[in-house]
Amino acid sequence: MPPEPQTIDIIASIFSQAIKKTLEKGTKKTIKFSKTFQAIPRVSLQPEVGCFVQFSGDYNGLVVMNFSDEAAMEIYSSYMLTMGLPESDLAKDCTSNEVIDTMGEMTNQMMGRSMSMVESKFDLTSYCGQPKALSLNNAITLTPDMNYQDNRRVSFSIGTSRFQMELALEQTQFIPVK
């Protein structure tokens, strides 16, 4: 009998599904995520566009979204075109405020869906603040000051572009009551 999945892997799976659903709805593009989660020693904001947000409540953690410039531009342009913005009005550079703000807004929507899906499945609630979105030239390691267990990275794709979610979750175990 295979071992029970760790809570962080269950949460990473739920968050991955929420990210996929949110981005597919907002961009009208196919989003895929890896069948393999990576255990990583720490979470980091990576170049080119990074977003991060802490969440707290019945369970606590930190999510980092790292977008290559190609992925950020693909998500931004597809989202804005879906919203009815003319192509001539689209920003041309991933460092523009419009792209950074859109990635922050998309991360906010992804987190809202993630929190809702966890609450629906486990009857546990967490809340997050407004995600911070940045254009970066260098990596920045984030160190939450709680007792966090292993971290996870999940790779996603939109077309040929890739992006990642990194998740840090406090040391916790969800145990269903029978």
pLDDT of residue 146: 60
pLDDT of residue 145: 67
Euclidean distance between CA atoms 94 and 129, whole angstroms:
24
pLDDT of residue 91: 95
pLDDT bracket for residue 23 (50, 70, 90): very high
pLDDT tens digits, 76-133: 999 999 999 999 999 999 999 999 999 999 999 999 999 999 999 999 999 999 999 9
Q: Which domains does the chain have, with CATH numbers?
A: 7-164 (3.40.1550.10)
Query: 21: Cβ–Cβ under 8 A, 6 or more apart, which residues?
Result: 113
Of the candidates 58, 2, 7, the one whose C-alpha atom is nearest the C-alpha of residue 176 is 7
By the 8 A CB rule, do 142 and 44 touch?
Answer: yes
> What does the pLDDT average to over 141-148?
75
pLDDT bracket for residue 144 (50, 70, 90): confident
pLDDT of residue 8: 94
Q: Radius of gyration (Cα) for the chain, nearest Å?
A: 16
Euclidean distance between CA atoms 4 and 128, whole angstroms:
28
By the 8 A CB rule, do 109 and 131 touch?
Answer: no
> What does the pLDDT average to over 57-86?
96
pLDDT bracket for residue 148 (50, 70, 90): confident
pLDDT bracket for residue 2 (50, 70, 90): low
Euclidean distance between CA atoms 12 and 59, whole angstroms:
13
